[in-house]
Structure 1
Amino acid sequence: MATLIDRMCLQLVLVLSIYLGMTQAVDRTNFKTCQQSAFCSRQRALRPGQSSYRALLDTLELSDSRLTLQLLNNNKVRLLLELYRLQGNITRVKINELKPIKPRYEVPDVLITEPQTEPMSVVAQDERGVVLSLGGEDRRLYVNAQPFRLDIMEGQVLLLSINSQGLLAFEHLRLRKDTISHKITSTVASMWDKIKTVFSSSKDQTDPEEAGRTEDTQRNNEDEETEVDQPGMWEETFKSHADTKPNGPSSISLDFSLPGVEHVYGLPEHADSLQLKNTDGGDPYRLYNLDVFQYELSNPMALYGAVPVLISHNTHRTMGLFWLNTAETWVDISSRQDPAQVPQTDVRWISESGIIDVFLMLGPKPADVFSQYASLTGTQAFPPLSSLAYHQSRWNYNNQEDVASVDRGFDEHDIPYDFIWLDIEHTDGKRYFTWDKKNFPQPKDMLQGLMDKRRKMVTIVDPHIKVDSSFKIHSEIRSKGFYIKNKDGGDYEGWCWPGNAGYPDFTNPEMRSWWSSMFAYDQYEGSMENLYTWNDMNEPSVFNGPEVTMHKDALHGPWEHRDLHNLYGLYVQMATAEGQIRRSGGLERPFVLSRSFFAGSQRYGAVWTGDNAAEWGHLKVSIPMCLSLSLVGISFCGADVGGFFKTPGTELLVRWYQAGAYQPFFRSHAHLDTPRREPWLFGPDNMALIREAVRQRYALLPYWYLQFYHAHRTGQPVMRALWVEYPHDVSTFSIDDEYLIGRDLLVHPVTDERSTGVNVYLPGDGEVWYDVHTFQRHEGAQNLHIPVTMSTIPVFQRGGSIICRKNRVRRSSSCMENDPFTLYVALDPQGNAEGELYIDDGHTFKHETDRQFIQRRLRFTANTLSSSDLSPDSQFPTASWVEKVFILGAQKPKGVTLTTGGAVSSVEFEFDPVTAVVTLRKPDVNAGVDWTIQLQ
Structure 2
Amino acid sequence: MTTTELGCPTTLKPDDNPGGALLESQSKFKTCKQIGFYRRQKLFQPDESPYFAQLNTLNIENGIVTLDLNHQETLVPLKLKIIAVEGNILRIKINEESSLKPRFEVPDVLVKEPTTQQFKVCNQETSCLVLEDPSSLCKIHVNAKPFSMLVTQNDNELISINSQGQLYFENAVFPSKESGLAETNPEKKAASSEELFGLWKETFEDYLDLKYPSSIGLDFTLHGFENMYGLPEHADTHQLQDTGEDEAYRLYNLDVFGYKIYDKMGIYGSVPLLLAHKPSHTCGIFWLNASETLVEIRSQAVLQPQMHLKSPDVKKQRAVPKTNVRWMSESGVVDVFLLMGPTPYDVFKQYAQLTGTQMFPPLFTLGYHQCRWNYEDEADVEAVDSGFDDHNIPYDVIWLDIEHTNGKRYFTWDQDKFSNPVKMQENLQEKKRKLVVISDPHIKVDPKYTLYSEAKEKGYFVKNISGQDFEGNCWPGVSSYLDFTNPDVREWYSSQFSFEKYKNSTNILFIWNDMNEPSVFGSCEGTMPKEAVHHQGWNHRDLHNLYGFYQQMSSSDGLIQRLGGKERPFVLTRSFFAGSQRYGAAWTGDNKAEWEYLKISVPMLLTLSVTGITFCGADVGGFVGDPDTELLVRWYQVGSFQPFFRGHAMQDTQRREPWLFGEDNTSIIRRAIKERYALLPFWYHLFYRAHIFAEPVMRPLWVEFPKYPETFGIDEQYMLGNALLVAPVLDSGVTSIDVLFPGLGERWYDFRNFSCVGDSHKQKVDVTIEEIPVYQRGGSIIPVYTTIGKSTGWMDNSPYELHIALDRKGTAVGEIYIDDGHSFQYLHERMFSYRRFTFKKNILCSSTADKMGCYPVKSTLENVYVMGLKNSPSEVIVHEAGEKKKKLAYTYNKDLCVLSLKNISLGVSLDWEIHIK
Match of 2:264 among 288, 300, 304: 300
Q: Secondary structure at the match of 2:902?
A: strand
Name the residue aligned to 2:617: 638
8 Å CA contact 2:127–2:143 kept in 1: the answer is yes
Give me the whole-angstrom Cα distance separating, in 2, the residues matched to 1:44 and 1:900: 71
Look up the equivalent residue of 2:391 and give its one-letter code.
H
Instruction: Report Cα offsets for 1:737-789 as digits up to 9, x if no partner.
Output: 01111101110110011011111111121110111112111233310211000
Q: Deviations over 1:378-435 (max 9, x none)?
A: 0000000010110000100010000000001000000000000000000000000001
Q: 2:221 aligns with which of 257, 278, 294?
A: 257
**Cα offset for 1:135?**
2.0
Match of 1:312 in 2: 276
Corresponding residue to 1:571 among 550, 560, 576: 550
Task: Find the aligned partners of 2:811 and 2:136 in 1 and give their Cα distance.
Answer: 39
User: For 1:289 and 1:173, how far apart are their aligned partners in 2?
Assistant: 25
1:233 maps to 199
Between Structure 1 and Structure 2, which shows a larger proportion of helix residues?
1
Q: Secondary structure at the match of 1:342?
A: strand
Q: Given residue 36 of structure 2, which amino acid in structure 1 is its aligned partner?
A: A
5+ residue gaps, structure 2, are: 1-24, 183-192, 304-317
| Matching residue of 1:151 | 150
For 1:283, the equivalent position in structure 2 comes to 247
- Cα distance in 1 for residues equivalent to 2:491 and 2:208: 33
| 1:895 pairs with 2:861 | no
Q: 1:621 Cα shift?
A: 0.6
Q: Secondary structure at the match of 2:117?
A: coil
Q: Which residue of 2 aligns with 1:58?
A: 56
- The CA distance in 1 between the partners of 2:689 and 2:429, in whole Å, is 29
Shift in Å, 1:913: 1.0
Structure-2 separation of matches of 1:313 and 1:57: 33
Match of 1:456 in 2: 434
When normalised by structure 1's length, the TM-score is: 0.91
Larger mean Cα displacement after TM superposition, 278-287 or 327-336:
278-287
Alignment partners' CA distance in 1, 2:339 and 2:50 = 27
What is the rounded CA distance, in whole Å, between the counterparts of 1:448 and 1:925 in structure 2? 36
- Asked if 1:465 corresponds to 2:443, the answer is yes
Q: Distance in 2 between matches of 1:635 and 1:683?
A: 34
| Deviation at residue 807 of structure 1 after TM alignment | 2.6
SS in 1 for 2:271: coil
Q: d(CA) in 2 for partners of 1:562 and 1:630?
A: 27
Aligned-pair CA distance for 1:181: 13
CA distance in 1, matches of 2:542, 2:181: 23
1:713 paired residue number? 692
The 3-state SS of whatever aligns with 1:376 is helix
8 Å CA contact retained: 1:64, 1:120:
no
**Is the aligned partner of 1:874 residue 2:853?**
yes
Which whole-Å deviations, capped at 9, do the CAs of 1:131-153 have from their partners, x for residues lacking one? 00022585210000000001001
- Deviation, 1:281, is 2.0
Q: Following the alignment from structure 1 to structure 2, what is the Cα–Cα distance between the partners of residues 148 and 229?
A: 31
Q: Does structure 2 retain, via aligned residues, the 8 Å contact 1:898–1:923? A: no
The alignment partner of 1:343 has SS state of strand
In structure 2, what is the Cα distance between the partners aligned to 1:28 and 1:786? Answer: 45
String of CA shifts for 1:145-169, please: whole Å, max 9, x gaps: 0000010012432101000011111
**Structure 1 residues 263, 60: closer, same or farther in 2, change over 3 A?**
same
Match of 1:831 among 796, 800, 810: 810
Determine the structure 1 residue equivalent to 2:122: 123
Aligned ranges for residues 160-239 of structure 1 at < 5 Å? 160-178=159-177, 231-239=197-205
Alignment correspondent of 1:201: none
Q: Is residue 2:241 matched to residue 1:242?
A: no
**Structure 2 residue aligned with 1:369:** 347
- CA contact under 8 A between 2:672 and 2:771: conserved in structure 1? no
> Offset at 1:871?
2.0
1:727-766 equivalences in 2 (<5 Å): 727-766=706-745
The residue matched to 1:35 in structure 2 has which SS?
helix
Counterpart Cα distance in 1 of 2:865 and 2:181: 79
Whether 2:603 is the aligned partner of 1:604: answer no
2:755 to 773, 776, 801: 776
The answer to whether the Cα contact below 8 Å between 1:461 and 1:536 also exists between their aligned partners in 2 is: yes
On the 8 A contact 1:54/1:72 being kept in 2, the answer is yes
Q: Whole-Å Cα distance in 2 between the matches of residues 889 and 782 of structure 1?
A: 18
Change (3 A) 1:182 1:778: closer
Per-residue CA deviations over 1:706-738 (Å, capped at 9, x if unaligned) read: 000010001111111111111100000000001
Q: 1:918 aligns with which of 868, 876, 899?
A: 899
Paired with 2:518 and 2:632, the residues of 1 have a C-alpha distance of: 31
Partner of 1:659: 638
Q: Could you tell me how far apart the structure 2 residues matched to 1:423 and 1:64 are?
A: 51
Letter in 2 for 1:422: L
Task: Give yes or no for contact 2:819–2:831 (8 Å, CA) kept in 1.
Answer: yes
Amino acid at match of 2:33: Q
Q: Structure 1 residues 345, 814: closer, same or farther in 2, change over 3 A?
A: same
TM-score normalized by the length of structure 2: 0.93
- Map Cα deviations across residues 70-96 of structure 1 (whole Å, 9 max, x no partner): 111122211000000000100000000
Partner-residue secondary structure (3-state), 1:29: coil
Q: Assess if the C-alpha contact under 8 Å between 1:907 and 1:922 holds in 2.
A: no
Equivalent-residue separation in structure 1 for 2:154 and 2:657 (angstroms): 60
Distance 1:496 1:856 in 2: 50
2:844 aligned with 1:865: yes
Structure 1 residues 137 and 495, CA gap change in structure 2 (3 angstroms): closer
Cross-structure match for 2:79: 80
Selected match of 2:331 from 330, 353, 378 = 353
Equivalent in the alignment of 1:802: 781
Aligned-pair CA distance for 1:64: 4.5
Q: Deviations over 1:325-363 (max 9, x none)?
A: 000000000011478632111000000000000000010
Aligned residue type for 1:140: K
1:787 aligned to 761, 766, 779, which one? Answer: 766
Give the deviation of 1:178 after TM superposition.
Answer: 1.6
Letter in 2 for 1:514: W
**Cα drift, residue 930 of structure 1:** 1.0
Counterpart of 1:878, as a letter, is V
Distance in 2 separating the partners of 1:406 and 1:542 = 33
2-structure distance, mates of 1:268, 1:293: 17
Contact 2:718–2:726 (CA<8 Å) still a contact in 1?
A: yes
3-state SS in 1 of match to 2:492: helix
Counterpart secondary structure, 2:53: strand
Q: 1:675 aligns with which of 654, 672, 676?
A: 654
8 A Cα contact 1:138 1:154, kept in partner: yes
Query: Is the alpha carbon distance of 1:601 and 1:138 closer, same or farther for their aligned partners in structure 2, counting shifts above 3 Å?
Result: closer
How far apart are the structure 2 equivalents of 1:425 and 1:737? Answer: 36
Q: Residue type of the partner of 1:100?
A: S
Match of 2:190 in 1: none
* Aligned residue in 2 for 1:648: 627
2:309 is matched with which residue? none
Q: Distance in 1 between matches of 2:194 and 2:556?
A: 48
Residues 842-873 of structure 1, C-alpha deviations (whole Å, 9 max, x = no match): 00000000000000110111111111112222
1:352-431 equivalences in 2 (<5 Å): 352-431=330-409
Contact persistence 1:272–1:298 (CA under 8 A): yes
Q: Is the 8 A contact 2:620 2:648 kept in 1?
A: yes
- C-alpha separation in 1, matches of 2:876 and 2:319: 61
**How far apart are residue 814 of structure 1 and its match?**
1.1
Asked whether the 8 Å contact 1:49–1:167 carries over to 2, the reply is: no
Aligned residues: 865
- One-letter code of the match for 1:237? T
Structure-2 separation of matches of 1:182 and 1:458: 49
CA contact (8 A) 2:444 2:452 kept: yes
The two structures, once aligned, show a CA RMSD in angstroms of 1.5
